[in-house]
Amino acid sequence: MMATQKVLVTGAAGFIGSHLAEACVERGYRVTAFVHYNSANSWGWLEGSPLKSEMEIVAGDVRDYDSVSAALHGADTVFHLAALIGIPYSYASPLAYVRTNVEGTYNILQAARMLETANVVVTSTSEVYGTAQSVPISETHPLSAQSPYAATKIGADQLALSYARSYGLPVKIARPFNTYGPRQSARAVIPTVITQILSGAERVQLGNLQPTRDLTFVADTAAGFLAIAASASLNGEVTHIGMSAEISVGDLARLIAQLLEADVEVEEDDRRVRPPASEVERLVCDNRKILERTSWRPEFDLASGLARTIDWLRSNLDRYKPHLYNV
């Protein structure tokens, strides 16, 4: 078991990062939450967290080595989640993704190396695989970037693994498949569908309805990060977090409509469809490694996770703009 006392979570103001920071507090760790510096001094999703008073919240920029190094000082473990993640915007500004996702990860790795941090967990994504060439997708599946976002995440992952091999840095790659739940941006399909229906739309507009995804509730994803961090046997390796189940975007939208008892039509919006060669058609996780090498077991199936997500979005609908396409 990892002997952790103090944890740094980068990207702690975001969707998964805020849940993970809270989970670390609940485990009894001393948590430094690294959030993106901004003029409003906003802590993102941590603003409303009942546990924020139990964290040290530090503003900085993952692209700035000095602020990264200062935040990491004294930490036993770093969970590096800070990233640009919106795929559509990566088509518009690939360089922004290189600077944040690749250079930001370099700053974490180099600072951890200099400070001799005992445990470094870098966040990957199932998008690095592109459309599945074999299913379920194992950790040895070939990497194939079908978007600038995916390319930068491959670069960050390979840089992290190179630090493990070159310098003996205790790096682990946590590779979640699609995560959903409270606080997720409307750039993602589940909050997009739910908020459109809750706002009274009779037609739900989405991108391509055919691709399949493997969906994990955010509390289970956060637990997966903690389980991976706790296993020294996973140093220098990639480990998936996923459910080993898939559902198409169209079927997912119809399931959500059924749970909401809504009679809606689901239609494709051309603005939301990826370029043909960039669409990842199928993602389904092989989760045997995390099940065999850690104590992680998911607590939520899709129906129960969606129910919790619907309840939260119903109470927070005013935070969203369902009539807009979020890039």
Query: Is 70 inside a domain boundary?
Result: yes
| DSSP summary character for residue 85 | -
CATH number for the domain spanning 196: value is 3.90.25.10
Whether 133 and 203 map to the same domain: the answer is no
Whether 132 and 201 map to the same domain: the answer is no
Say if CB 273 and CB 249 are below 8 A apart.
Answer: no
Q: Which of 292, 210, 280, 279 is nearest to 244 (CA)?
A: 292
- pLDDT of amino acid 275: 85
Print the domain residue range for 202: 180-213+245-283+300-319
Whether 135 and 264 map to the same domain: the answer is no
3-state secondary structure labels for all residues of 169-198: CCEEEEEECEEECCCCCCCCHHHHHHHHHH
Whether 125 and 191 map to the same domain: the answer is no
Whether 96 and 158 map to the same domain: the answer is yes
Q: Block means of pLDDT (10 residues each) for the chain, length 327 residues? A: 81 98 97 96 96 98 98 97 95 97 98 98 98 97 97 98 98 98 93 94 88 97 98 97 97 95 86 81 97 98 98 96 74
- pLDDT of amino acid 1: 45
Q: CB neighbours of 195 closer than 8 A, spacing ≥ 6?
A: 186, 313, 317, 320, 322
Through-space distance between the first and last CA atoms of the chain, rounded to whole angstroms: 41
Query: Is 204 inside a domain boundary?
Result: yes
- pLDDT of amino acid 273: 73
Q: How far is CA 220 from CA 22, 98, 117, 216, 317, in A?
A: 13, 29, 26, 7, 24
Whether 21 and 155 map to the same domain: the answer is yes
The structural domain count of the chain equals 2
What's the CA gap between 238 and 124, in Å, rounded?
A: 9
Whether 135 and 69 map to the same domain: the answer is yes
Q: Which of 29, 129, 149, 180 is catalytic?
A: 149
Whether 272 and 130 map to the same domain: the answer is no
Query: Is 1 inside a domain boundary?
Result: no
Whether 145 and 260 map to the same domain: the answer is no
- pLDDT of amino acid 112: 98
Query: Is 68 inside a domain boundary?
Result: yes
Query: Is 192 inside a domain boundary?
Result: yes
Whether 42 and 98 map to the same domain: the answer is yes
Query: Is 137 inside a domain boundary?
Result: yes
- pLDDT of amino acid 102: 98
CATH number for the domain spanning 44: value is 3.40.50.720
Residue ranges of alpha helices (H) inside the chain are 15-26, 65-72, 87-92, 94-97, 104-115, 148-167, 189-198, 218-229, 249-259, 288-293, 302-315
Residue pLDDT, tens place only, 55-70 = 999 999 999 999 999 9
Whether 147 and 260 map to the same domain: the answer is no
Q: Which two tokens stand for residue 309?
A: 């997500």
Query: Is 270 inside a domain boundary?
Result: yes
Q: Where do we find the tokens 């989760």?
A: 287
Residue 149 annotated as catalytic? yes
What's the CA gap between 218 and 269, in Å, rounded?
A: 27
The predicted model scores a pTM of 0.96
Whether 137 and 194 map to the same domain: the answer is no
- pLDDT of amino acid 231: 95
What's the CA gap between 283 and 210, in Å, rounded?
A: 12
Query: Is 288 inside a domain boundary?
Result: no
